[in-house]
Amino acid sequence: MSGNVYSFRPHHGMCLAYFAGHGYDSRFTAHMEHLLTVLTPETRIRLTIGTDIVCAACPNNLDDVCHKPRLVAAYDRAVLSRCGLSEGQVLSFRRFTDLVGEHILAPGLRATICGGCQWNGICSSQPGWW
């Protein structure tokens, strides 16, 4: 997976950081587990406010559009802003996760971005992966 550049929604940096084996359905959960094994530190990602490699298995992905596009786009824009990044920017997965960890997770700002998400209970009950 590290030879290509993969589209990646900025807020998914937090979703993956707190993933604990739960998801919308078994296909989505298996996909998240798979992504955590193949997104190496060197993997190149392109930040997008649109569907990405995580969305590929989401049951809420309706013809490449999230069923809550404004809500998740707001999550994405907040991550970009906090981390000093921009849509379309290409960087390594490690650099991205380092920035998310430094600017959002370590200072305890995750809930200010996505505290209303249905998965907030999982995220708030455990430490993040990065």
Q: pLDDT (tens digit, 9 = 90+) per residue, 102-124?
A: 999 999 999 999 999 999 999 99
Pick left, alpha or beta for residue 24 (phi over 0 → left; psi -120 to 50 → alpha; otherwise beta). alpha
pTM of the model: 0.93
pLDDT of res. 11:
97
- Per-residue confidence at 129, pLDDT binned at 50, 70, 90? confident
- How big, in percent rounded to 5, are the helix, strand and coil portions of the chain? 45, 10, 45
pLDDT of res. 128:
85
